[in-house]
Structure 1
Amino acid sequence: MMRQYELVERVTRYNPNADEALLNKAYVYAMQKHGAQKRASGDPYISHPLEVAAILTNLRLDDATIAVALLHDTIEDTDATRAEIDSTFGEEIGKLVDGLTKIRRLDLVTQKAKQAENFRKLLLAVADDVRVLLVKLADRLHNMRTLHFVPEAKRARIAEETMEIYAPLAGRMGMQSLREELEDLAFRHLNPDAWKTITERLSALSERNRDLIGEIEAELTRRFAEHGIVAEVKGRQKRPYSIFSKMQRKSVAFEQLSDIFGFRVVVPSLEDCYQVLGIVHTTWPTVPGRFKDYISTPKQNDYRSLHTTVVGPSRQRVELQIRTAEMNRVAEYGIAAHALYKDGKTGGRNIAKATEESRAYEWLRRTIDLLNEGDTPEEFLENTKLELFYDQVFCFTPKGRLIALPRGATPIDFAYAVHTDVGNTCVGCKINGRIMPLVTALANGDEVEIIRSKAQTPPAAWESIAVTGKARAAIRRATKDAVRRQYSGLGKHIVERAFDRAGRPFAQEQLEGALTRLGQSNVTDLLAAVGRGEVNSDDVLKAVYPDYQTEAQRGRPPRRPGAGVESRSLTNETNPAELPIRGLRADLPVRFAPDGGAIPGDRIVGILTPGQGVTIYPIQSPALKQFDDEPERWLDVRWEIDPDAAERFPAQIKVSSINEPGSLAVIARAIGETEGNIDNIKMVRRGHDAHDMLIDLEVYDVKHLNEIIAQVRLLPNVTSVARVNG
């Protein structure tokens, strides 16, 4: 276990002006609080925060962050409190320690909900100070290094969480070395057989190629020196999990991999990077499709480098990464590299300021912004996982703006990446000047133009097509808003009808004074609640007009709302209290009754079903009897059909026919010839020579249905035909 003075020496080695008194006080406080606590390994518990602090010293972090590493488990695992930490070490350190403390007192139903809520809390703390994330990643790394001491029942869950969340999160923050170690440690526990096989093969391959690697390093260094470039060339071997994931992704065997060994070339300047690339490409043949310029187009985690593969010395494929020392530092330490200390001075504020220019931190802040969009913790966690796991493609707007997206992203993701309003109004797209489907997977370099319409509302089905968490969250939110607007519109019609029936004037402003009595926060929510059937329209009337009495209270028998509907439905008279029915794609949440439906020309009535909207029945439907004792659910409705829209409506007919070959085909042909559309057929055998068919149709109106019935009735194999509920 590391000693107190050793920790202080590690910090002062890169930061001579470190606050040694703070480090010593944090060490002693943590030692006292954890006392005789033991880890699963049997080691004193204090060894864990010490190792976390040691990991952070390798990242050259400030003394306040090192102190937080020593204290990070005190609130969660000891009797220490936030107030005590604040008074002893200051509010800044107390806030960081609290951000690392898991939520324990919430009544969470599932382990997934607990994980999601803790992750949500962590990211909210990270939004205030990135050092919370750095300590958390170091904490997870040490826990993974000692995972073999944890009971076996917990190992898989911890390893899976590391692989799904913390390793990719480290990668998105640009901390590649830490990510690779987390992945390998998790891989070892999640798939021990594959880990063992790949590790053994790597060891054997390294032994065989030990001299070859040295030869390639020397040859590359000599070539660069001939052109006056002092370059540091170092060979490195891919990690087991990186190899395994590539074998899975490419469906290739270990022997087919040609880039198990790669070489990193570190040069003094940006110009040297491209000069080295020219030397390599003019000396050895390049492998087509393997050149990537992440200097001119950096990754979102700030990674910058040139990648290329050549058939190099000894006819071996050589993968090269060419970068400057500064690029190499960012590639290794990522967001932690922004905490570089100048003139021996450091502090948390300097780190926060440095991260303002970090593209990785910008991504993190955008992800955290999704927390404010009303998603549940579980939805947020799933969307964040989607964001974490992707390789990027780079696309452009027609004006040349660069948009980075995950591989497999569609124009829908592109539209939402540009702006939420662009996504919500998207109706089509052009990719490289050609109109393409919105489900098209985008490729590097595509120019994408989004076609928009103000009348568009994103379909709920888009959520399953979108790849990015931002797009999915925005689609879900827009869908909820659209449903809310539908129910609000329905509720307004219901309330207007109730006021009209009571002979009371209605104005939407009147409802504002009644919101408190009805338990609603705003008028829109109140009307939506009425539309969903959660609030009765009579209750709204009473809240606005306390002296109002229902017909039952006045001693009169309640009028069945269906009365009087028939005459109005057959004429052109319009009553504003009636709901206009425009079909299945109207603004109101309307559906048609099962077993027959309703079509224009029918006399109709609406039945309000809580949570489902309005169901439209023909006035003669026997199903209406079940609602006789619930007059408050009856609504006056009318058809309001655009004759130019040619919209179809559901209807059902029962056909009795002779059982002979081809009889169904004859009936279907007759329906098709009269422009009817068959939606479903159910056949019931009535005897050896006959059967009945229930045919669900889509028709324009009553006249159209009668034409179909007349046509089918003329068929020689048909004995009878009639409309169901007709």
Structure 2
Amino acid sequence: MAATESVAVAPTAPVARPAKPRARMMRQYDLVERVRSYNPNTNEDLLNRAYVYAMKAHGSQTRASGDPYFSHPLEVAAILTDLKLDDATIVAALLHDTIEDTEATRAEIDQIFGPEIGALVEGLTKLKRLELVSREAKQAENLRKLLLAIADDVRVLLVKLADRLHNMRTLDFVPTESRRRIAEETLDIYAPLAGLMGMQEMREELEDLSFRTLDPEAYTVVMQRLDALAERNRNLIGEIEDQLSNNLRHRGLGARVYGRRKKPFSIWTKMERKSIGFEQLSDIFGFRVVVNDIESCYRALGIVHTTWPVVPGRFKDYISTPKQNDYRSIHTTVIGPGNQRVELQIRTEEMDQIAERGIAAHAFYKEGAGSPTEFLKRESNAFAWLRHTIGILSESANPEEFLEHTKLELFHDQVFCFTPKGKLIALPRHANVIDFAYAVHTDVGNSAVGCKINGKFAPLSSELQNGDEVEVLTSEAQAAPPSAWETLAVTGKARAAIRRATRTAVRDQYVGLGRRIVERLFERAKIEYADDKLKGALPRLARTSIEDVMAAVGRGEIKASHVARAMYPDYKEERVARYGVKKGLAAKLKEKSSEPPRSPVAIPIGGINSDLPVKFAPNGGAVPGDRIVGIVTPGEGITIYPIQAPALKDFEEEPERWLDVRWDIEDSVPQRFPARIRVENVNEPGALAQIATVIAEHDGNIDNISMQRRSPDFTETTIDLEVYDLKHLSAILAQLRAKAVVARVERVNG
């Protein structure tokens, strides 16, 4: 799905369309009068020129409904006049499809209407000829372009939302196979974007239009129930409005009170989320109390709470702690007339405007306010947060990852938590301490090792609640977070940071491994290695930095000998003669102490926590005391095998992958290593317990057990152990052989 895909272009083949009477298209003077009604200083000439230019550019193009295509940008402009936006935004709405769907160019629009409007139109133009395989990748790249344009100028978002709203209003004319896809995209991306910018009225309409398309049966049922309920409660709603108004007026407080019912999509999602029926909903109708100033909000709250009983746990103060999208209001629920639950939102006129129109409630056309984007940087938390989030998302490594992180980061309800110093941190619902740590700072997240929630120690995966005070405990010893954290994190920022840190850590491992391989080769060849000399040879290796070269060597993409030859063209690799096929390479290596057939570079190998990308043979492992061989797998690192492992035969025809390695273990820091044993034991009660007891008494750790009945009297038990070294493993084997229930025991090498 292309994120900025227009649904207005006429189909190439005829489709069945519902009959619709043609509406009169808005004339030039109609548009000018709409703008003049809220902006007396409008540039009429600019609006007229844009109207004529767009109409001529789209020419005879038609929409899926059969209407002239120009009716679409005209309706988009009309939606934006309802939001009272500035001339440049209205003109951009008229021109928003010209670069994409007509012969118009950015240069021409810049010349006629100026670079400001040209930039707006360019930001609304989806990328053409994307050479990407998947629809998701195309959708993500177009969404990335749109969001980056929004970060530069918020008016791009306002035009795009109006564009999508008109497309959704006319979705019935679109071919059936496209309708669902467009509605899903609207529900996933554009409705939440409107909500994030505080444009609740537009969000609700986008959601309901999508809901009607995606689940028409459910939509119809909810609407029928709502209409029936409204008819039954018509007098009650008026009674509640009158009582509220009278009580406030008698206490000397003037207020505008009105009731409204929730939208079908909001009701349906609540029924789905809480698994309840329509009859069980108690907050279908809500009432707004709009007063003159903030002090009056709290006075009104006091009057309401002293008049009717309060429903416990249903009070929220978004005036003292606004939402991230600048929403401010006091929410409370009381038992009102007729013992009905009454939801109240108490706010000022300005708050009411921002609650419905969000960032569009700011008067962009006022003189002296500066550019809309600069103005919102100062005035709007929502836009500042969006720009910051877009900056983080733009660092995603690939289109699909960007799309995933966008949906995770942008489209969640929020909880509010605090640092020990009182700083407010807004997070999505279900976020945990890991998300909190990365919200504070990336370095805090990367080095987090523990936490306290409200003064008590808790796991880092603990879900946070509104009002929690969170202290993150860090350690300089943790250079990078565990990669498993990515599955625990909820926010896109945390996931992106963890993925980035993991990639960096893995790359650093490959760089370290590559550097060791190269330096050992140069040492054995008795030639000088220097970074400065390698820097001059980078073009011959088709790499841009020394780190890129070392990482490629570590991953097995470049041989160390190629690096030597790039730096010293006269260098000749000393090749080790191939062993005869008759006996096999691995067998010869077990008999001899000669080097494996790769450049004779011995690399020291630590344990599982080594700073090199090392893993041990999957079937049997290896322990200190074994003679070991490393097999390099490009992109995966080194797999360590004991020299007696039968699996090494699989690599005899690939000598370039063999690497001579040796143990480099610190005695002061004991580490366990993987080994596998096979026990043939008598099939009698308690046999397995005796075997496990021997292993435990000798400080071995059982990682996995599998059992297979070989005969009525004997069971074959395969045990994956963790031991310190070969001596430790041999002691365990000896003790097992001494048990009467054990017929035979041996070590298994994969």
Point out the more displaced range, 577-586 or 379-388.
Answer: 577-586
- Give the aligned partner of residue 447 of structure 1: 469
Q: How does 1:42-191 map to 2 (within 5 A)?
A: 42-191=66-215
Give 5+ residue unaligned stretches, structure 2: 1-24, 580-584
Q: How does 1:352-363 map to 2 (within 5 A)?
A: 352-363=374-385
Decide which of 452, 459, 462 is 2:485's aligned counterpart: 462
C-alpha distance in 1, partners of 2:618/2:427? 45
- Give deviations 1:164-186, integer Å, cap 9, x for gaps: 10001000000010001101110
Q: 8 Å contact 1:64–1:347 — kept in the other structure?
A: no
Point out the more displaced range, 627-636 or 518-527.
Answer: 627-636
Point out the more displaced range, 116-125 or 367-376.
Answer: 367-376
Change (3 A) 1:47 1:373: same
Q: Residue type of the partner of 1:28?
A: V
C-alpha distance in 2, partners of 1:629/1:200? 74
Q: How does 1:20-35 map to 2 (within 5 A)?
A: 20-35=44-59
Q: Residue type of the partner of 1:353?
A: F
- Give the aligned partner of residue 555 of structure 2: 532
Q: Residue type of the partner of 1:201?
A: R
C-alpha distance in 2, partners of 1:716/1:305? 78
C-alpha distance in 1, partners of 2:262/2:336? 18
Change (3 A) 1:705 1:311: same
C-alpha distance in 2, partners of 1:178/1:65? 17
Q: Residue type of the partner of 1:410?
A: N
- Give the aligned partner of residue 376 of structure 1: 398
- Give the aligned partner of residue 491 of structure 1: 514
Q: 8 Å contact 1:198–1:244 — kept in the other structure?
A: yes
The DSSP-based 3-state class of the residue aligned with 2:31 is: helix
Q: 8 Å contact 2:393–2:406 — kept in the other structure?
A: no
Q: Residue type of the partner of 1:358?
A: S
Q: 8 Å contact 1:565–1:637 — kept in the other structure?
A: no
Q: 8 Å contact 2:590–2:643 — kept in the other structure?
A: no
C-alpha distance in 1, partners of 2:314/2:710? 70
- Give the aligned partner of residue 598 of structure 1: 622
Q: 8 Å contact 1:656–1:693 — kept in the other structure?
A: yes
Residues 1:426 and 2:444 aligned together: no
C-alpha distance in 1, partners of 2:250/2:258? 18
- Give the aligned partner of residue 285 of structure 1: 309
Q: 8 Å contact 1:236–1:262 — kept in the other structure?
A: yes
Q: 8 Å contact 1:370–1:380 — kept in the other structure?
A: no
- Give the aligned partner of residue 572 of structure 1: none
Q: By how many angstroms is 1:685 displaced?
A: 4.9
- Give the aligned partner of residue 5 of structure 2: none
**RMSD of Structure 2 on Structure 1 (CA):** 2.3
Residues 1:698 and 2:743 aligned together: no
C-alpha distance in 2, partners of 1:565/1:614? 23
- Give the aligned partner of residue 246 of structure 2: 222
Residues 1:551 and 2:574 aligned together: yes
Residues 1:339 and 2:363 aligned together: yes
- Give the aligned partner of residue 206 of structure 1: 230
C-alpha distance in 1, partners of 2:714/2:532? 63
Q: 8 Å contact 2:393–2:405 — kept in the other structure?
A: no
- Give the aligned partner of residue 530 of structure 2: 507
Q: By how many angstroms is 1:604 displaced?
A: 2.0
- Give the aligned partner of residue 573 of structure 1: none
- Give the aligned partner of residue 415 of structure 1: 437
C-alpha distance in 1, partners of 2:99/2:232? 52
Q: 8 Å contact 2:590–2:644 — kept in the other structure?
A: no
Q: Residue type of the partner of 2:319?
A: I
The DSSP-based 3-state class of the residue aligned with 1:319 is: strand
Q: By how many angstroms is 1:664 displaced?
A: 3.7
Point out the more displaced range, 543-552 or 424-433.
Answer: 543-552
- Give the aligned partner of residue 404 of structure 1: 426
The DSSP-based 3-state class of the residue aligned with 1:55 is: helix
Q: 8 Å contact 1:565–1:603 — kept in the other structure?
A: no
Report how many aligned residue pairs link the two structures: 715
Residues 1:388 and 2:414 aligned together: no
Give 5+ residue unaligned stretches, structure 1: 570-575
The DSSP-based 3-state class of the residue aligned with 1:161 is: helix
Q: 8 Å contact 2:554–2:637 — kept in the other structure?
A: yes
Q: By how many angstroms is 1:620 displaced?
A: 3.3
C-alpha distance in 2, partners of 1:267/1:341? 26
Q: 8 Å contact 1:116–1:378 — kept in the other structure?
A: yes
The DSSP-based 3-state class of the residue aligned with 2:695 is: helix
Q: By how many angstroms is 1:101 displaced?
A: 1.0
- Give deviations 1:136-193, integer Å, cap 9, x for gaps: 0000000111111111111111111111100010000000100011011101111111
Q: By how many angstroms is 1:324 displaced?
A: 0.8
Q: Residue type of the partner of 1:128?
A: D
- Give the aligned partner of residue 3 of structure 2: none
- TM-score normalised according to structure 2 size: 0.91
C-alpha distance in 2, partners of 1:357/1:414? 25
The DSSP-based 3-state class of the residue aligned with 2:362 is: helix
Q: 8 Å contact 2:61–2:69 — kept in the other structure?
A: yes
Q: By how many angstroms is 1:383 displaced?
A: 1.2
Instruction: Quote the sequence identity (%).
Output: 66
The DSSP-based 3-state class of the residue aligned with 2:449 is: strand
Q: By how many angstroms is 1:42 displaced?
A: 1.4
C-alpha distance in 1, partners of 2:376/2:519? 58
Change (3 A) 1:153 1:347: farther
Q: By how many angstroms is 1:516 displaced?
A: 1.5
Q: 8 Å contact 1:493–1:578 — kept in the other structure?
A: no
Point out the more displaced range, 431-440 or 82-91.
Answer: 82-91
Decide which of 546, 557, 565 is 1:542's aligned counterpart: 565
The DSSP-based 3-state class of the residue aligned with 1:722 is: strand
Q: By how many angstroms is 1:663 displaced?
A: 3.8
Q: By how many angstroms is 1:216 displaced?
A: 1.1
- Give deviations 1:575-596, integer Å, cap 9, x for gaps: x963222211211111112333
Residues 1:365 and 2:387 aligned together: yes
Decide which of 640, 643, 654 is 1:619's aligned counterpart: 643
